[in-house]
Structure formats: C-alpha cells, structure tokens
Amino acid sequence: MIEFEYWQLLFFPVFFGLGWAAARIDIRHLVKESRALPRSYFQGLNFLLNEQPDRAIESFVDAVKVDPQTIELHFALGSLFRRRGETERAIRMHQNLVERDDLPQDLKLQALSELGQDYLKAGLLDRAEEVFNKLRDSAMVKEAKRNLLEIYQLEKDWEKAIAIAAELPDIATQKEIAEYYCELAAAEMIRSRRDVASGYLKTALERNRKCVRASLLQGDIEAQQDRIEEAVACWQRIEQQDPTYLALVASRLLDAFRKLARRDEGLQLLRGYLEHYHSLDLLDVVFQLVLESEGADAAYCLVRDELKRNPTLLGFDKLIEARLLVAPPETRADLDLAKSIVQGYTRRLARYRCDNCGFKARQFYWRCPACGGWETYSPKRTEEFDLTP
C-alpha cells in the first residue's frame, strides 16, 4: 500500500496557483486578440446573428480592409461571394491573396485553387484551365485534376477528358469514360466518318460492356449503311445490357422491321418487350404498329389492357386517344373535351427526371445538364418513375 505523507498536501496550493496564473495569461491573451480585431468584424457577427447577411458581408469586407492579415476571413468571403454568384468579387478577393508575398506556400496554393474555382464558376474556362494546370505539380494535384476533368467535359474536349480520367480511377468510372468515347463517336458520325466512329464505340464497349448508348449508336451506323439486320442486332443487344432503355430504340426497331417487310415479326418482338418491360414510350410505338396492322379496335384493346396492368394518367390519356378512333361521332366531342382536360395534367408528368439531382426535362439526356451526372436520367417518364417500387 502506498504511504501518504502530510507534507505532500503543500503541493496542492502550488498547483492551484500555477493553474490560476495560466488561466489569467490565457484570458489576457484572448482579450488582447479581441481588442486587436476591427470593430467592423464584430458588427458583421452581429448582423449574422440578426439574419442580415448582406450587411454582414459588407462589415466583413471593411474588416479585411482595416486588417489585411485576416487570411481566413479572406478565404471565407471569397467562397461566400462565389456561392452567391458574385464571381468578380470572389476573383478579386482570391487574386489579392495570390499576389501577397508574405503568404505561406500552402496558403498561396489554396488561394490559387480557389481562384481557379472562381474562374470555373464564372465560365472563364481558359483561365481556370491555366490555373489548375499550374497546380498539377503541387500538393493539390488531385483537386486540380478533378477540376480539369470538369473543364474538359464543359469544353467537350473528350480526348483530354479521357487522358486525365485515366489518372483519376477513384473519381472517373469506366461508365463515364465509355460515355466520353460515345461523344467522340457521335461527333465522327456527324462528319460521316463511320469507321472512326465504330472504333470509338468498340472501345466504349470494352470499357463498359453494358454501355447502352454504344449499342444504340452502333445500330444507327449500321442503319445509315442500309445494313438493317445488323442494326436490329445492335439494338436488340440492349435487352441484355439494360432493358429499361428499350423504349429509346423502339421506334428504330419499328422502322427497321418495316424496311425488312417483316412487320408481324417486329410487332411480336415489341409486344413481348412491352409485356416484360412496361414503358409508356414503348406503348406508343406498339400502339402505332397495332393500329397499322390490326386496326383501331385492336389498338384500343391493347391500350385498355395495358392500362389495367399499369394504371397511369399518361396511359389514360392514350386510352382516350385510342377511344376516339372507334367512338361514334356523337360522343367524340365529349372525348375531345376529356382529352384536353387530362392533357393539362399530363404535360408535367411526361418528362424525364435525373436520378441524382431531380432535374426534369422534356427530352432525354445522357448527361444531366444540371448536375453533370452521366446516365442519371431514367428512360421512364416522371409518372412512371414515381410509381416504380
């Protein structure tokens, strides 16, 4: 057992005294620092507490003018200006930091990175690219490459995007790189350089064997050269890649089977797709094909049965359209009125929606124009998207 001596109690007052002295020194230091801060700094804090952000920003700007050494406040204001869309003020704030000779190297690199993001936000892509290229040989190399990848995508410089994506395996996926090759292929198709385009699409499928867009474009190339059988094979391959995208090639398949004079075979194939992979766009194509092949009554029955299986307002709109084809003249006025009322509600439902950010558009995009995500749009309409389990 440890023996305790009474004389050791003398240490307690000494320790207490030392702690009190240290606390006094810290308090004095804190008071000294607070007195050194500009008065406008505390005014800014007060405005923030009173939910007056605009007046708070002006006070912080005044504080920076009074005391240029407030580095963190410079960074905070610059980022705030950029988020608010005041890119000119953000650029000036970060340029001032970059040009300071007394700034440590790590903070100067941070300021340069912030300046590059300001240029990117302002749409000054050339300046942003120049800044981030300077940072490729620094400790911020990964951040610089990530921003360069975004710049090359905005500039549609897909070859540079592919090159830098190879250096960012944890950021750029093989699915995205396959899309870059599809973009190159699409550009070559416009120039009628089909062989070059086919080479890019082959590489896209090597990067991502489930790249639906590559199969779709390859089918388009075959169809342009009147190789209809080969085109159909490419488009049918989408069922193994992702059957939800079959709606995008349904009209292509319809045209192909018409050219082959095998409409019945095409109808059987598309009806099978509709039965297994419900889609309103697919229903539109099958409806048209049944109307041509079997008449208005059969087309009406098709839509009615499909609506029973998958009840949607867009499907009901299609049912009214089909009913108009077989309705007696005395009831068509009422059906036209019902259709116009229903269409007033279905316009906002007949849109595509990004799975990532929720942005809605009337047309389908391979890359979301809002968040920049690749293959984030479902080929289903908004109403179908909401009903999907």
What the chain holds in terms of domains, given with CATH numbers, is: 173-241 (1.25.40.10), 243-349 (1.25.40), 351-389 (no CATH)
The CA distance from 205 to 183, in Å, is 13
What is each CA distance from 145 to 115, 129, 201, in whole angstroms?
A: 15, 10, 25
**Which of 205, 155, 146 lies closest to 177, judged by CA?**
205
Residue 42 has pLDDT above 60, yes or no: no
Longest dimension (CA), the chain: 115
Residue 287 has pLDDT above 90, yes or no: no
Using an 8 Å Cβ cutoff, are 94 and 111 in contact? yes
Using an 8 Å Cβ cutoff, are 277 and 246 in contact? yes
pLDDT score recorded for residue 86: 81
354 marked ligand binding residue: yes
> 341 in helix, strand or coil?
helix
Give the confidence band of 69 by pLDDT, cuts at 50, 70, 90: low
- Which of 126-130, 227-231, 238-242, 293-297 bottoms out in mean pLDDT, i.e. has the lowest? 293-297
Backbone angles phi, psi at 60, to 5 degrees: -65, -35
pLDDT score recorded for residue 64: 44
Give the confidence band of 240 by pLDDT, cuts at 50, 70, 90: very high
Rg of the chain over Cα atoms, rounded to whole angstroms, equals 32
Please state, as a whole number, how many other Cβ atoms lie within 10 Å of the Cβ of residue 159: 10
- Structure-token pair, residue 21: 């002295």
75 compared with 122, residue with greater pLDDT: 122
357 marked ligand binding residue: yes
Using an 8 Å Cβ cutoff, are 287 and 293 in contact? no
Amino acid at 172: A
The CA distance from 366 to 380, in Å, is 13
234 marked ligand binding residue: no
Q: Burial of 279 by CB count in 10 Å (0-12 exposed, 13-18 middle, 19+ buried)?
A: buried
Q: What is the DSSP letter of 361?
A: E
371 marked ligand binding residue: yes
Residue 256 has pLDDT above 60, yes or no: yes
Residue for token pair 């749009």: 377
Residue 195 has pLDDT above 60, yes or no: yes
Residue 233 has pLDDT above 70, yes or no: yes
The pTM of this model reads 0.74
Using an 8 Å Cβ cutoff, are 354 and 377 in contact? yes
The CA distance from 132 to 136, in Å, is 7
The CA distance from 6 to 16, in Å, is 17
The CA distance from 131 to 119, in Å, is 9
